[in-house]
Amino acid sequence: MSVSRDDVRKIARLSRIAVEDEALDQLAGEVSGILSWIEQLNEVDIDGVAPMTSVVDTTLPMREDVVTDGSIQSEILSNAPRTEDGFFVVPKAVE
C-alpha cells in the first residue's frame, strides 16, 4: 500500500502533529512500510487459534470481594483544609 504526501499531511492534521513539508516524503515511506507489514499479517493462517489476552497463560489471584471503608478516614482527611462530620468541605461550585 502506498501512502502519498497528502495522506501524511492529513494524518498529521488529524493527529494535531506539526510536520514540516521536507519531512512528508520520509514519513510517507515509513507509513507505507508499516502498512506493508500489516498486510503481511493478513497472510498468516490463524484458523483454530484461540484469541488470547496474554502470551503467558496465567490466572490472577482471586480474593473475596468485600466492601470496606478502608478504615483510614482520619488519614485521608488529615490533609484537607476543611472537614465536617467526616467529609470534605468544598466551596459551592454551582449556584
Quote the pTM value: 0.50
Q: Which three cell numbers stand for residue 3?
A: 501512502
Q: In which domain, by residue range, is 15 found?
A: 5-41
Residue 27 lies in a domain: yes
* 28 located within any domain: yes
| 25, part of any domain | yes
The neighbour count for residue 62, using CB atoms within 10 Å, is: 6
Is the distance from CB of 77 to CB of 88 less than 8 angstroms?
A: yes
Domain membership of residue 11 (yes or no) is yes
Per DSSP (E only), the strands in 1-95 are 83-84, 87-88
Task: Kindly give the confidence (pLDDT) of every residue in the chain, 95 residues in length, as a single tens digit, with 9 standing for 90 and above.
Answer: 689 999 999 999 999 999 999 999 999 999 999 999 999 998 999 899 888 888 887 888 898 888 887 788 889 899 899 999 989 999 888 87
Total number of domains in the chain: 1
